[in-house]
Structure 1
Amino acid sequence: MRYSDNNSYIHRKPGAAADIDSAADKTVDACDFDDTSDNLTAAQNALNADFDAWLAAQAAAVAEGGGCSPTLSNDWDNSYIDFCAGGSITITWTVTDICDTQTTTATYTVNPVPPLTLTQPADKTVDACDFDDTSDNLTAAQNALNADFDAWLAAQAAAVAEGGGCSPTLSNDWDNSYIDFCAGGSITITWTVTDICDTQTTTATYTVNPVPPLTLTQPADKNSRCL
């Protein structure tokens, strides 16, 4: 800009415009912050710390310049993203000087913990007599029945096939007791799948039809006389 006063000229350069660089978005998976302890508080704190680091890095990256002593601010409200639910926070950075204001935005996104999934296990019903061999050995028959129950229990644990979540674990409530071979009965097992954010359960029943009661027909007496 040029000013004239009695044929003398003074040249003044305008102040450089305030300048701002773009901030970078970031996307993370919540499960990346879950350690082996499945401690929700620790996982939330780790996620919060990562957000804080990203926020600080973007403030440095924005690198305001130009202008007259520009200042940088952002509109973060000090709230964090829930670890389990996930979500996103969009931050607006504003650089201001005496003559100008410019803004830029970036978003921090958390992919939520995937929902837990499990498959319904299958019930099973057996007849006790199917485990009795020709020896009629009660101990052997009971052991054979127990082994079949064990195989069923293991197969259902595999069939439940838990998925989703953050490193889910599967357990059941079997108390290590077996069904009596002769009396029969049933055992209902509850499987529980748990991760850092959720718990789901499912049940199945193993039933033993008892050995049918022995029956016999009363034979008939017979009297005979010699003539």
Structure 2
Amino acid sequence: MTSTTTSTTSTTGTALEGRTALVTGATSGIGKAVAQNLARQGAEVVLHGRDQARGEALVKEIAAEGGSARFVAADLTDAEDTLRLAAEAGAVDILVSNAGLYEFAPTAATDAASFDRHIAVNTRAPFLLVGALAPGMAGRGHGSIVLVGSSAARLPAPIGAAYGASKAGAEILTRYWATEFGPAGVRVNTVSPGPVHTEGTRAMLGDHIGALDATNARGRAGDPGEIAEIVSFLAGPASSYVNGAVLYADGGERSTLPA
């Protein structure tokens, strides 16, 4: 794996000036919107993904807007590679654990390897990253960790039990970490989106993508930029008294997708 760096100086002073943020799963969907938003607010962003070309392209996009970013590729299904990512990210002030894996299938059709992949990416990877990075934040007396969860953690459906379990695990870890690191000035929170229009959901649902718009009181699925705004709020000083929270961003969700 290689690391690519491009950096420019932001021309506008913002709330995150001088902060460094690591965003996992940053090359598409919600993660990309989060990374761009944090960079616009002055943070230097460490972008994580698996695709070197997409990572380099996003570094250039952020630089073209006057932001600062670098890309580190890593495979979060591999524990050692996850720890390498933490080491290469260095002393970060903000961790956004966004990378997620979802393979929606009935329980009987979910084999052990698929279950293990869900746990590795959605639960173990944030656990390892927090274990590697939060002590440094605590030592410096400040930090913000934001996990991107899912409504699947609280709204059961006929399929996707492995995914829901992996996301529920991340939610309870949020509360543990808020208790563990909060006294040292490190806040830990989760934003739990409902359905959001991303490349992944379009690929998964295909011609049935319109079903996402029928699941909540807003009458539409979310946009990645809307979730990015909430993540940025939780990452920044405006949410200084928010710790151990799971913030639902689902448009007033009232049902699950059909089987």
TM-score if structure 2 supplies the norm length? Answer: 0.22
Q: Which structure has the highest helix share of the two?
A: 2
Give the structure with higher Rg (CA).
Answer: 1
Q: Which structure has the highest strand share of the two?
A: 1
